[in-house]
Structure 1
Amino acid sequence: MCGIAGLFDIRGKRDFDRELMRRMNDVQHHRGPDEGGYHFEPGVALAHRRLSIIDLATGQQPLFNEDGSVAVVFNGEIYNYQELVPELEALGHVFHTRSDTEVIVHAWEAWGEDCVQRFRGMFAFALHDRNRDTFFMARDRLAVKPMFYALLPDGTLAFGSELKVLMQHPALDRRIDPQAVEEYFALGYVAEPRTIFEGAKKLGPGESLCVRRGQPVPAPRQYWDVEFTLDNGIGFADAAAELAGRLRESVRLRMIAEVPLGAFLSGGVDSSAVVATMAGLSGEPVNTCSIAFDDPKFNESEFARMVAERYRTNHYVETVKSDDFDLIDTLAALYDEPYADSSAIPTYRVCQLARKKVTVALSGDGGDESFGGYRRYRLHLMEERMRSAMPLGVRQPVFGLLGRVYPKADWAPRVFRAKTTFQALARDSVEAYFHSVSLLRDDMRRSLFTPGFRKQLAGYNAIDVFRRHAAGANAEDPLALIQYLDLKTYLVGDINTKVDRASMAHSLEVREPLMDHELVEWLATLPSGLKIKGNEGKYLFKKAMEPLLPDDVLYRPKMGFAVPLARWFRGPLKQRVRDAVLGETLAATGIFQRKYLEHLVDAHQSGARDYSSPLWTVLMFEAFVRNIGNGVAHDKSSEACAV
């Protein structure tokens, strides 16, 4: 895995500052500690940090075509590159390395922008074609690898693997985007294409951008999307067999490496299935890495051990103390923009452990989205059945009123907690799902933000992210719709972001077999009844894995990679939370109402409410603000938050 960076002059052919380019590249040294490379020519500067995985001897970047007219910098892996080489050689292209990177420059020459359609893998790359006076960049279909970019006022297009790369450029507009703040406090991340800054964007999943010098910069082009047809008439037994075969193929492709390779093993279904499949493909014991917790409520290591013993893996385990909260500021620096998934802590630790043993690790990420594994999916389907029994025009006034007057009872048994259910039944499907995944729901965000900040939002609500994607989903099936939404939002903004930054902090490459786009496309053809049956999620996947895994792994309740936030905030972090949430850093932004912040802290620490998730979200925003420049000043002239 690597880090890439660069500058392209869309108006002319200025020479770029080489020292600036070196700063942009050095700030992502952790992504590629093995080598650094540069290419400069009038109007172009490209930089690369290399983590050597394939073709260790000759895979240096930037890499060029035969006459040096096309230059590329690339982060990721093209798993089918060996299949593409003879096809490109037959077209007259000459290869000088054994790296997958060189396939990109020749594929660009052969197929232009459509070259991305031929790649199977995880990738973010940028290339310059001198003869066509063109700059092209692309991100893989499921956005496993990141790509940030900014169009600067002087006509420079800047790009990089992390936001901190762009932050090295003095011309970047670092005003905080109010709509990004709204998205963060709803979702826990800033959704594509926004970043936290007004002046920077993210390339979205399955998008490319082609810029021709002297012409207006177009909007990114979506070159791929998943379509949930649900029209595959395959029988259950054949579907289970084909799923197992497709998983084997995906895992096999991701085991190609010239460096030590292993896998994460959490004890959950997805990582266990990947490890079992690897064991069947490897002539040597698989290296597996697990994190154990000293709090039994969060510890899955027993189930990981069961799988490791069954397949006789080289199993490495480290125990994380339940008070492992020293990473707060580290995470803020790592993620660059506010990021609120607390499982980033154990993810950071398991990557740290894995890097001691291997350079490449396979993970089970992406399985819940495609196989139907989240508990919230089953709850949503239950609510959908109730919603379908009554028109929206009737549901909204009836259940809306009940949702407003029924008392909130988080402390009570679930059967008595009807307020949330009433509220959900008053909404349409997209709004209900958005509400179910929101960290701070609409009423909480209204209470959290000051009137001045709400004015800046001008009515914008983060649900617009879901509405925009739902409009392109072409999926009437209720499960297919929310799977599609997660593939476009949560998987990209939360899961992939978490794993990329945590792994690259330790110069570890993580590969995700369950995010193979051909596997995802095939799963989208299967009826939803094969994914969730009754109260059993991942039904087909679990049945397909029964010959490989014990029932105790397949059919136990999902635990997740959680940390004990509620206890931390009432115990060892009690004062730190109070100081951070009610301190000067957040007060200076002009975003937050102090009275509501006081309510969150007091109600949680008294035990009256569990506000651990909202408090963590606020805490990580405070750490972000401190990290990016010792505070945020409110620019009253432009009504925007400026760093």
Structure 2
Amino acid sequence: MCGIAGIFNISGMPIDQRILCAMSDALVHRGPDDSGYHIDNGLGLAHRRLAIIDLAAGKQPIYNEFGTVCVVFNGEIYNFHKLRAELEGYGHRFSTSTDTEVIVHSWEQWGDECVQRFRGMFAFALWDSKSETLFLARDRLGIKPLYYGWLSPDVFAFASELKSLRKHPHFRSDISWPAVEDYFAYGFVPDPHSIYSQVRKLPPAHHLRISKSRADSQPVKYWDAQFGTCSAELNVASIAEELVDRLREAVSSHLVSDVPLGAFLSGGVDSSAVVALMAELHDAKPTTCSISFGTPEFNEAQYAEEVANRYKTIHHVRQVEPEDLSLLDRLASIFDEPFADSSAIPTFRLCEITRQWVTVALSGDGGDENFAGYRDHRLHRNKQRLRALMPKSFRRALFGNLARIYPPLYQAPSYLRARTTFQTLALDEVESFARGRMIASPEVRSQLFTTSFKSELQGYDATEVMRRHAIDAPVRDPLSLAQYLDMKVYLPSDILTKVDRTSMANSLEVRVPLLDHEFVEWTAQLPSHLKLRNGVPKFILKKAFESRLSNTTLYRPKKGFSIPLANWLRGPLKQRLLDCVDSPHILESRIFNHGSLKRFTTEHINGYRDHGPLLWALMMFDGFLRAHNS
């Protein structure tokens, strides 16, 4: 994998090579093998390379045969052999065996529409010197990141990570208040916002064209997943067989590499399915890597070992202990903006151990979004069925009143804590789903923030993130809407961000065959009853792999890839939490109501309520502020 960065001075002012080099050097972890630059008439491109394909001739930037088009590219184009043959038929001449060179010739042949031809994960910047046009594009699912912004009226810059943009002298570190609201709602900053007002994220499946004559261009969407248009009754056995064939083809396309390749193996159905197909496709034994936990209720290492033994993989395991907290101070520098998914710690450790053995790893990410694997998907469908039974006004009044009179019962068993269920049933479909995805409800955030900060928000609420995507969602039923919203928000801004940053911090490339866009398009068309049936999530995926994986692997309750966060904050992280609440960076930010922070912390430490996700988010925000102000 690689890192890219660039500067476009639309006034034509010459590029300061020292600035461009500093932006590139900030990305050395993404590409430790080589660096390359292109400077031309107010335009500067930089590339850091992690060599994967055509190790000898793959240095970037890469040009067309006339030197008029060049590209810096982060990712993999899996269908580049087919595209190359097609382009050669049109008369294009190639000088390397890389997938990168396909991009420049595709631009010459098809212009903006070239992105429709690419099958893979990518973020790239292409310069066409004839038209003096800079073209940026990001893959359909958001596997690879791309930040951009106008650092002054005449200076446009972009990079794979924020730390690169911070090296430009025109960068301003003004914090985006809506991004803070989003962060304390979801635990991450969803695109198109970044934590900085001056910088945005190019959304997945979008491209952006900037030229000296048109500096006001906006991102253009070029793809979307169309959900559930198939309503015919389908044969389960034949669909399961086709699923395996399609996933096998996706996995096969992701195995192209000139360096050692392996896989993450959690022991869950998604990664196990990928490993099973790798073993079928590979003559050599696959290398697999797992993380185990000292806390039994979070540990799935024995299930990963079962799959590894079944397919005779070369298996490596590392245990993460409660005392393994040395990464906390690094997280801010790894992510550049606040990021509160605590599974970033085991994910980093997984990438760290995997990089000892291979340079490329396949993962099982995307299975939950494709096949309705999250608990929230089932809950959302069931709640929406109940909403549909009664008029909106009656439902709001009934469940709103029940929520007000029902006691909180924070320490009672989950089946008795119905207050939250009543609250969400009183809401509309989108707001209800958004709340289910939040680490802190609007009521908690209202207590968390100061009056002055809330006034800065000018009425903005993080629910708008979901509403924006739901307006034109190409879905037909509540389950598909839940999948679609996760595919647009949670997947790119949390799951894929976590994997990209932690893998790149270890100079490891991670590929996600379950997010091959052709496979995603096919799964999206499957009816919802094949994804969630009789309370079984990922029904058709599990059915498809019954001959390849044990029932224990397929049908045991989902654990997820998490850490014992609540206990950590009451134990080894207790003092750090208390110090965070009184941190000068937190106090001086004027964002937080200090009394509320004290109360949330006391309630959590004493076991009265579980504020773990919110308090972890606060600690990660404090780490960001310390790095931000340094």
Task: Say yes or no: does 1:167 pair with 2:166.
Answer: yes
**CA contact 2:367–2:514 (8 Å) conserved in 1:** yes
CA contact (8 A) 1:78 1:123 kept: yes
Q: Name the SS of the counterpart of 1:76 in structure 2.
A: strand
Is residue 230–residue 528 contact of structure 1 (8 Å, CA) maintained in 2? no
User: Residue 463 of structure 2 corresponds to which residue in structure 1?
Assistant: 463
CA distance in 1, matches of 2:552, 2:54: 41
Report runs of 4+ in structure 1 exceeding 6 Å deviation.
Answer: none
2:571 aligns with 571
Structure 2 segments unaligned to the other structure (5+ residues):
none
| Distance in structure 1 (CA, Å) of the matches to 2:397 and 2:153 | 53
1:418 equivalent in alignment to 2:418: yes
Deviations along 1:176-209, one digit per CA (max 9) or x if unpaired, are: 0100000000011111100000000000010000
Per the alignment, residue 144 of structure 1 pairs with 143
Match for residue 557 of structure 1? 557
Displacement of 1:229: 3.3
1:315, distance to aligned residue in structure 2 (A): 0.5
Structure 1 length as normaliser, TM-score?
0.97
Equivalent pair of 1:582/1:597 in contact (CA under 8 Å): no
Corresponding position of 1:641? none
Q: Residue 601 in 1 paired to residue 593 in 2?
A: no
Indicate the larger mover: 254-263 or 603-612.
603-612
Deviations 1:409-466 (A, max 9, x none): 1211223111011101101111111011100100000000000000000000010010
Further displaced range: 404-413 or 31-40: 404-413
CA contact (8 A) 1:173 1:200 kept: no
Aligned-residue offset at 1:232: 5.7
Structure-2 residue corresponding to 1:350? 350
Tell me, in whole angstroms, the C-alpha distance in 2 between the residues paired with 1:585 and 1:65: 50
Q: Which residue identity is paired with 1:242?
A: E
Segment drifting more, 562-571 vs 82-91: 562-571
The C-alpha deviation readout for 1:538-591, integer Å capped at 9, x for no partner, is 000000011110111000000111111111111111111001122211010000
Q: Output the amino acid matched with 1:616.
A: W
Query: For residue 390 of structure 1, what is the aligned residue in structure 2?
Result: 390
Q: Which residue of 2 aligns with 1:614?
A: 614
CA contact (8 A) 2:141 2:517 kept: yes
Verify: 1:476 aligned to 2:476, yes or no.
yes
Task: Find the residue that maps to 1:21 and give its secondary structure.
Answer: helix
Give me the whole-angstrom Cα distance separating, in 2, the residues matched to 1:84 and 1:573. 52
Q: Which amino acid aligns with 2:586?
A: L
Helix, strand or coil at the partner of 2:267: coil
Aligned to 2:440: 440
- What are the Cα deviations for residues 62-118 of structure 1, in whole angstroms up to 9, with x where unaligned? 110001110100000000000001110111110000000000000000000000000
What is the rounded CA distance, in whole Å, between the counterparts of 1:586 and 1:568 in structure 2? Answer: 21
Shift of 1:474: 2.8
Q: How does 1:281-430 map to 2 (within 5 A)?
A: 281-430=281-430
Matched, 1:253 2:276: no
Amino acid at match of 1:404: R
What TM-score, normalized by structure 2, do the two folds share?
Answer: 0.99
Residue 161 of structure 1, CA deviation = 0.3
Q: Is the 8 A contact 2:363 2:511 kept in 1?
A: yes
- Matches of residues 37-56 of structure 1 in structure 2 within 5 Å? 37-56=36-55
Distance 2:270 2:415 in 1: 31
Partner of 2:501: 501
Name the stretch that deviates more: 399-408 or 13-22: 399-408
What amino acid maps onto 1:359 in structure 2?
T
* Contact 1:264–1:362 (CA under 8 A) maintained in structure 2: yes
Between 559-568 and 113-122, report the one with greater CA deviation. Answer: 559-568
Q: Residues of 2 paired with 1:392 and 1:604: CA distance?
A: 36
For 1:82, the equivalent position in structure 2 comes to: 81
Letter in 1 for 2:105: H
Deviates more, 1:381-390 or 1:356-365: 381-390
In 1, Cα distance between the equivalents of 2:425 and 2:238?
A: 38
Asked whether the 8 Å contact 1:232–1:525 carries over to 2, the reply is: no
Structure 2: distance between partners of 1:149 and 1:212: 15
Shift of residue 396 of structure 1? Answer: 1.0
Mapped to 1, the partners of 2:436 and 2:113 lie a distance apart of: 38
Indicate the larger mover: 73-82 or 324-333: 324-333
Corresponding letter in the other structure for 1:297: E
Partner of 2:70: 71
Report if the CA contact (8 A) 1:288-1:313 is conserved: yes
Matched, 1:105 2:104: yes
* Per-residue deviation, 1:218: 1.1
| Percent identity over paired residues | 52
1:97 counterpart letter in structure 2: T
Distance (Å, rounded) in 1 between the aligned partners of 2:25 and 2:404: 54
What CA deviation, in whole Å up to 9, does each residue of 1:482-526 have, x standing for no partner? Answer: 111001000010000000000000000000000000011111111
Letter in 2 for 1:533: R
- Would you say the 8 A contact 1:150–1:172 is kept in 2? no
Q: Does 1:276 align with 2:288?
A: no
Amino acid at match of 2:453: F
Please state how far the C-alpha of 1:381 moved relative to its aligned partner: 1.5
* CA offset digits 1:361-412 (Å, max 9, x no partner): 0000011001110111111122112111112111112211211221111211
- 2:26 corresponds in structure 1 to 27
- Matched pairs, number: 629
Amino acid at match of 1:194: H
Q: Distance in 1 between matches of 2:514 and 2:448?
A: 38
2:88 is paired with a residue whose SS is: helix
Asked whether the 8 Å contact 2:400–2:422 carries over to 1, the reply is yes
Aligned amino acid, residue 542 of structure 1: K
Alpha-carbon distance between aligned partners in 2 of 1:583 and 1:322, rounded to the nearest angstrom = 23
- Are the aligned partners of 1:292 and 1:301 in contact in 2 as well (CA < 8 Å)? yes
The 3-state SS of whatever aligns with 1:191 is coil
| Counterpart Cα distance in 2 of 1:418 and 1:154 | 53
Residue of structure 1 equivalent to 2:205: 206
Amino acid corresponding to residue 172 of structure 2 in structure 1: D
Q: Which moved more, 1:14-23 or 1:229-238?
A: 229-238
Q: Note the residue ranges of structure 1 that are not aligned, 5 or more in a row.
A: 631-643
Partner of 2:221: 222
Q: Deviations over 1:585-611 (max 9, x none)?
A: 101000000010001111111111111
SS at match of 1:357: coil
